[in-house]
Structure 1
């Protein structure tokens, strides 16, 4: 049963008052430390204003090799982007936030880009007839843009909403509205009628209206409807040179099919039959008349079909069979596809393949498993690749390999002799969805989680906290059997709702799962319910110390510690509620947010709020306004010093602290805009701040997670500081060597 540690272990109020004396004095502006900025996980770091988007669910390829993409979400608004020769050229805009969203289809002709988008009203706060839908409604449709400048909308007259003509064309929102073809009008809480595919030539636009089981045809210039025909759950579609239309039908089913329609919509009988387990997700045609099908099933290949004897038959493939999961599972490389979402071909026969680690049908989880866009020559040689691999993610040095870095579901290798942004190499994808389908990455939240890597009894383990610090995932590794894949090993659940999709879970939250038979599956006999009254639920602080003990900082219920109980017969770390103890909230705190424990020195660093620096509910993710170091935590808990952390909620940008870690000689505390405050861990004095440099455009996205910073002291004294960077698909890496 859990036990409460005596309050006698906590420092007295007199000790607190003495330590706090002088800590409230106005601090001088900190000096900026001489650190170099770099990053991992994205082809471009934004130093030149470009980045690779975090998700790609659809592509369309122009004859000249420009690739136009679409996706439901990119944090910085690049849902619909343009790439060529391994570079981001531009993005469309008008597809992100405040009433706008991207989609899962895109098409081009010689003049226009047609982008599937959504239009909302922000719960009734956007009100303008013909521009935003009425309260309680949501529109799905197609935005028409200039192919040479996708930011420029291409209005048309006589659209489905007559009020559009009354809106000033000088208003950007109105211009977008007059360039929008409404396909579906749904309620906010209804399953939205997504557009499954688009295809176009200079005369016609075809729309796969998936929800209404039909393909609709429009005049590509006037955008007026011309005809439609029935098709069961149509998905991606592609126009042939003879005017016929190919498409994926039953696209939402277990095994989609290929259909071939005449120009008038009549079903033709020459479509290929797909093998079992094939999951067709996109379709394209090359100038030889070959049909290319992106298969997101276990094969993870692009299938090539040619017409033979009146029907299309498979005549070749692009990609290793099994994709990234073949050979050494999880090892990336050319033609090792992972979560195919799109395929296209240019006039020269070059093939383009997009992926996101999961596929286009699995919601926003695709925004966290890694977007890739690759180009191959007609002979199959890799021409170029774009990568936007990270979102809501952090990084942690592998304790067994100092030049290896784990993120939420990837591994990177570093060569620090290279220039900024080139030090990293994508080395491993950790989530084996075919071998380990119960992996909680696919069931408990939208993104993999923030990493802590520890070496315990000779083995490396990965612990992942989620964006809202609700639960903790635990993974082990077996390189000989599973390559780079992380094997689900343990799980500590908090609230019931975030874990409601975990297979075979007990009702409610407050349970621990351990993989008792070593198969990585969540089975009914492997769960332990919390038998006591001390609850893990609630709190923002998770920490795993170097001895494997798990620490959980609860706001007002104290600090829970679950001791590491060794490894079981399958190599899983053992955690049990019977080994949990609870420390009360130590003075001077009234509420706790983080607890970072140094097992080597029995030192505890706690952040939170005090009576004179109280909690402000508007800033609920922050670490708090004060950091306190306690020495001899397990035997008297003597308060050594207290630090007033940055806290100016009127500043622009906001000046608070969102994450904290301890490494080497320093405490590192990061603000939401990526600025890192560095404190000497012995004295508590601030050494200075590290700010984003020109390598990343002197910019950082919002650090939006409770565990978004880590640090590693190298053997030569240099510190690598990793900071989550939401905005542009990467983790910022600061390199700093303290001056002597």
Structure 2
């Protein structure tokens, strides 16, 4: 008996395909619990794995250094609430807490005196849902200000006004919070700089052109003075104040003020291409400038014969982009955000891959691109030797083994090398930053929301290409490599906008409304007007599933409309993979589905693995990111008469805590791997569809995984000895999980 494979009308561009029902196996059911598999838990991308409760935060936009070398940080966002961290001697000592959730957010400034840590934060109402006089702003308003904490333990709030309810931690937070700017929610007057002594607290607001002066004990305002777009501040031992100014205009500079705000006439001889982002002053009066321009260095200035001169620098000129572009290492800075110095002359430098970003946060977390490009904090001796480094390099990111190098792994914009002989958590080395904002300033990584993206690496015609999907599967980015000319840099090569992409106006010359394709035909990595192609096929492309097979074909699932296949058309003269709407093949939704979420094609067996919903297992709006509730393997897909080999009912329990469903799926070797939102990995036999068992986070990471929050958050690679490396996106603590599993071991 022959039955139609596809539900609904057939596309004109596809021949009629049928399936023999005789070969289909009885549906199997995957277990929500499952047998535990013997797998080692490891990770890549973070100095700490959370086994002891530590992790390096995912962004650092400001630092303050205590005389003993303890470093306090601030940033707008860390997924697990460590917006304001504390580090010393290469260890995370803790974080301030109370800067995340319940209307609270981090900021871009931090300062210390002998008693307190002052941290820039924000307080909102969660769209009016939080109400409490003195605890949250009025509905429709946002507070920007400073939280005061105990220097020795920043989790301890230091109230300076009455506490409405001592038993309520939110009331204690409010009593320790100084409201600097109370504004409507669509107005952004962030605190952009802080400096403190035992007698004075300076607070800068760039959008208000103002530096306010407070008493650090009473937190009463004593005055203010005008400064043009003031950013980070540094207080010298003589009581004068150094201010990074003009931070919103794109060409910042540094000004010197007296204690009461009078502009002084001495200036620093900054290089013409410098972009000062932070300033510090040591005990001898030497001024240190973090230069986030092309130099990527710390610049030193000291007063000689009544004028400031530049006696030296810290860091290789050009930073990570000098020599082999993108190769990290000591003194090779990348996106400086902060500089500080302790009493012994040790210098501390923070980076986040792009530098400070004063774009209003109301445009989305993507406007704070540091949360995804990689936070580092490092210490150097007075002689310039690196003493320690902590890294929080990954966020909303996955990993894919390099097809040309089995011990090389790509993430969204980084490359790591593996040494599996080392202990868990020490098996990775950061070796490549793939995004060069100086040579390729139009790279979408720096402009399009939702961070670099989830990687797929394929080798085509002897060349490696990187394909990246974003958090919401709005688009697919394509990159090529030219190691001889660009080192580790991934060169923008192609882009498929499946729907109107977020921040689409940031892509130069892009057609309005999305649904277009771009290819870098002249090889310069820029989006030029003649390089775009509109989708005129009449088939709209929004959907969750993207897959690039080993032959280079791109598969895209579009909900109830079907599966679209972009055939790899070889390489053009610039070395870009060629795809076109004219060579796109469309398949209707295959039975038994009424909506499909993912499609994974295995060219070695001509099999297509499809997940989605059926009449018996329908779609629920609340679970909009999941792969669906059913998986089906179809064999002989390319023949036009594929066989339905088996059907699997996937784990699905919306009442469970945490939620049980599958949010990501991949196929590798002899197995299918699916991952739950809470990070549990299900392993299925690829030939029969039965579940083999599950992999859960081990003690190495505190038996904890952050939420898998993306459509393509799991990948796997089979090694030559039969071991599988399984990589899972881990939102919470700046890393990607790496599970090592060898069947039968």
For the superposition of Structure 1 and Structure 2, which TM-score range results when normalised by the shorter chain?
over 0.9
Does 1:276 find its partner at 2:280?
Answer: no
Matching of residue 700 in structure 1 with residue 697 in structure 2: no
Q: Following the alignment from structure 1 to structure 2, what is the Cα–Cα distance between the partners of residues 467 and 331?
A: 26
Separation of aligned partners in 2, 1:341 and 1:735: 36
The alpha-carbon distance between structure 1 residues 616 and 15, as it changes in their structure 2 partners (threshold 3 A), is farther
**Counterpart for residue 197 of structure 1:** 193
**Corresponding residue for residue 3 of structure 2:** none
Contact 1:4 1:581 in 2 (8 A): no
Task: Name which of 185, 188, 195 aligns with 1:188.
Answer: 185
Cα RMSD, aligned residues only: 1.4
In 1, the alpha carbon distance for the partners of 2:159 and 2:82 equals: 21
Per-residue deviation, 1:531: 1.8
Distance in 1 (CA, whole Å) between partners of 2:695 and 2:525 is: 41
> 2:501, 2:396 → 1: CA distance?
20
Aligned counterparts of 2:687 and 2:245: Cα–Cα separation in 1 = 65
1:50 aligns with 2:54: yes
Equivalent pair of 1:5/1:584 in contact (CA under 8 Å): no
* Aligned residue among 323, 332, 341 for 2:328: 332
* Aligned equivalents of 2:383, 2:409: Cα separation in 1: 34
Which blocks of at least 5 consecutive residues in structure 1 are unaligned? 158-164
CA distance in 1, matches of 2:349, 2:596: 47
Q: Cα distance 1:151–1:132, how it changes in 2: closer, same or farther (>3 A)?
A: same
1:358-385 C-alpha deviation (Å, 9 max, x unpaired)? 0111632110000000100000000000
- Structure 2 residue corresponding to 1:464, chosen from 439, 459, 468: 468
User: Cα deviations across residues 111-154 of structure 1 (Å, max 9, x unaligned)?
Assistant: 10000000001111111000000110000000000011100000
Tell whether 2:642 aligns with 1:637: yes
Secondary structure of 2:573 counterpart: coil
State the distance in 2 between where 1:551 and 1:478 align. 26
Q: Which residue of 2 aligns with 1:162?
A: none
**Cα 1:608–1:217, aligned 2, differ >3 Å: closer, same or farther?**
same
Task: Check the 8 A contact 1:300/1:320 in 2, yes or no.
Answer: yes
2:97 matched to which residue of 1?
93
Question: Is residue 691 from structure 1 mapped to residue 718 from structure 2 by the alignment?
Answer: no
Aligned to 2:631, which of 615, 623, 627?
627
DSSP-derived class of the 2:320 partner: helix
212-221 vs 350-359, which moves further: 212-221
Q: Is contact 1:3–1:581 with CA below 8 Å preserved after alignment?
A: no
Alignment-derived partner of residue 294 in structure 1: 290
Q: 1:542 aligns with which of 546, 554, 558?
A: 546
Equivalent position to 1:134, from 116, 133, 138: 138
- Cα separation, 2, equivalents of 1:588 and 1:617: 20
Alpha-carbon deviations, 1:298-339, whole Å to 9, x = none? 110000000012121211100000000000000000010000
* TM-score (normalised: structure 1): 0.97
CA–CA separation in structure 1 for the residues paired with 2:652 and 2:12: 33
CA–CA distance in structure 1, aligned partners of residues 212 and 478 of structure 2: 48
Contact 1:552 1:595 in 2 (8 A): yes
- The alpha carbon displacement at 1:170 in A equals 2.1
Q: Decide whether the 8 Å contact of 1:648 with 1:656 is kept in 2.
A: yes
2:725 aligned with 1:720, yes or no?
yes
Q: Give ranges in structure 2 of 5+ residues lacking alignment.
A: 1-9, 360-366
| 1:652 paired to 2:696 | no
**How many Å separate the matches in 1 of 2:64 and 2:270?**
23
Q: TM-score, normalised by structure 2?
A: 0.96
- Aligned residue for 1:178? 175
CA distance in 1 between counterparts of 2:126 and 2:19 reads 49
In the TM superposition, 1:101-116 aligns within 5 A as: 101-116=105-120
Aligned length, in residue pairs = 726
Instruction: Give the distance between the partners of 2:184 and 2:261, measured in 1 at CA.
Output: 30
Tell me which of 450, 457, 465 is aligned to 1:453: 457
1:542–1:640 CA distance, 2 compared to 1 (3 A):
same
The corresponding residue for 1:414 is 418
| Cross-structure match for 2:7 | none
Q: Does structure 2 conserve the Cα–Cα contact (< 8 Å) formed by 1:255 and 1:277?
A: no
Alignment partner of 2:238 out of 225, 242, 249: 242
Deviations, residues 404-431 of structure 1 (Å, cap 9, x unaligned): 0000000000000000000000000000
For residues 126 and 147 of structure 2, the distance between their equivalents in structure 1, rounded to whole angstroms, comes to: 19
CA distance 1:201–1:621, shift in 2 (3 Å): same
* Secondary structure of 1:695's aligned partner: helix
Task: Indicate whether 1:8 and 2:16 are aligned.
Answer: yes
Give 1:479's match in structure 2, choosing from 476, 483, 507: 483
Distance 1:256 1:561 in 2: 48
In structure 2, the partner of 1:609 is 613
